[in-house]
Structure 1
């Protein structure tokens, strides 16, 4: 069963239950209110009898003794103060062309006589209800106080049935309940009529998502259109998350295509050079001399380095890049590396400015990987810093974050703003027109990021005050 039909039936069942509860509540409340109305009306009708009893109480010496269990006197009082309406004139009888009223018949006892009772101020019974048939409906007693000058002298009770007794009252209640039933049924039909299109509209985003998922499963990533986000509810957030997913997949697809193209280019170039030089040696165009072998060896080394870098990046993606961690001093390790690199810096006429704190900054890290990171940063500075430039290296502790921060910055030339966020992308070079020798393969900084993240740290690039590139590497301190 489709979701739209499930939602329709859920809404339908919910409306049925709501309609049943609404009708039950309306019926109960109307019956209760109408019975209360009938009791109040009867109490108003009994008010003359209450006043008559108070007057008779005074006339009989302020005592109820004269009426105690005197049912005949009681019926007379009830008959006196609860007089029925006169019979209509239409019931006269014509006799010998003259209109005469029929002889007055003795009036039967008032119908309420059988439901009235009387008690004194101390709740002692004076007139009790007649013996009630066991099959008679359950009754409740409503007491009306009999008062003289603000003093309660007795109580007139009237027994009310839990059910309506007069036919007109029952007909009225039945009619009102039927009207309520028709109203509730109409509301139910309207809700059912609105439930199906509402369920269809509610499922529409899910249907669009299903179609897009089928396209995605079919490999049509580039043709996928973003889903419209028309609300901020769960479905809207789901559509937004799917759009983010498709954008990420499109970016990854483009990156993979670019990655394959760049790798092919980087591998093809040294292979083509090797092939050309070997062919020239085989054809005798170029004599077999040590310089030729040295050139071939340089190309093989460059190709080997590129393959090793690609392999390390692949391992970092899989989380398989090995780390032999132990406690080490970052300052001592960096100081030794820079001291060993003085010869390379001197050849490029680059001055070094190094500052490290006196206290050791201890990491739980792989020393060989950290040296690899330093080496890649140094190669990047040597490759892109003009002769006569400057390299500034700073190492300090950030007590707020509990990290050791390495600041590596060089002098001119600088990096454009648009290139900063892409420096750590694989095979990315700030100038694609650079030759291979000066530009490298664009993997050094990508490996630096992989090493930093492998040590639960992070790396970022910005403009240097010296005019070149500033790279900040953050490592969590051991024990912090």
Structure 2
């Protein structure tokens, strides 16, 4: 009769799932590769010490036994030659228990010293490596946020972390140069095209005045096409003006104009302008703000235009009867000021949220509501100029835009 071990269906898969989830359940400090390498180094040192002690004990015990047997043998031969009594011979002339006890104490003391020394070395190396890893991580996060000027400032390549740091700095330098060149090209193109477009608009306006003076000989279709050309030329002028301004902001040229401002006053100014505009559009603009001032360094004009652009987006895309909420506050624990513009309109699909900050990108390309597709790009550039961030949130329904800036 063949004996068969009991099987537990699903046990193997459950164990594998627990094993796969184990790394995610580790404490944060233990997820550092530097700490893990240090702990591994310490464990290897202790295991090596234990193996060395075990082998030494076995070898010493064997050698002591061998020496005991040789001494007893020689003693017996000597006694035999002298015709003495064998009973006086000690069968264990070497006190190996005492020697092994002394040896054990020595290894315990050595183990303690090795453990202390290993712990100190591991902590020092781990802290040093963790600082460099954290620096690399912060630089990569800054680059992901658009700050390509961040650097690890590593000069030497004496280990792998140093080589990675130097490679990251070189990559960011090249990427920053490429992005700067692209910005310069786009700014130059916009600047070069602005002059002929302005001249074209002037010519169209002159033609419109002449056509008005001789209206008898012109058809309605002529005036309609001429008005469309004037409208398109104005739109082109607005686009190039906005592109040039965004490029100027992203280059940091406006940072020299920073002064001490109160964010509450910025919100009050925008609310005063757009309360009547929202009412005319059959919407409601609500304001939530702190009572005490929120002081920060910034460009008041740009912040007002940033908030105005966000409200205009809500006014443009929300149906009548919608509510728009403008709020601001201060996170004192992190020293961050925040602005929010929230509405209960149609919102933005999740697949478009990553692209709405791109220049000239529009969610619904078939709409002809006069938008340039640069409002959120401008808002992001202003937030970046103030070392802040801008995020989109679902209000279910509606869209929430939050700008966070350090104070």
| TM-score normalized with structure 1 length | 0.42
TM-score after normalising by structure 2: 0.49
- The structure that is strand-richer by fraction is 1
Which of structures 1 and 2 has the bigger CA Rg? Answer: 1
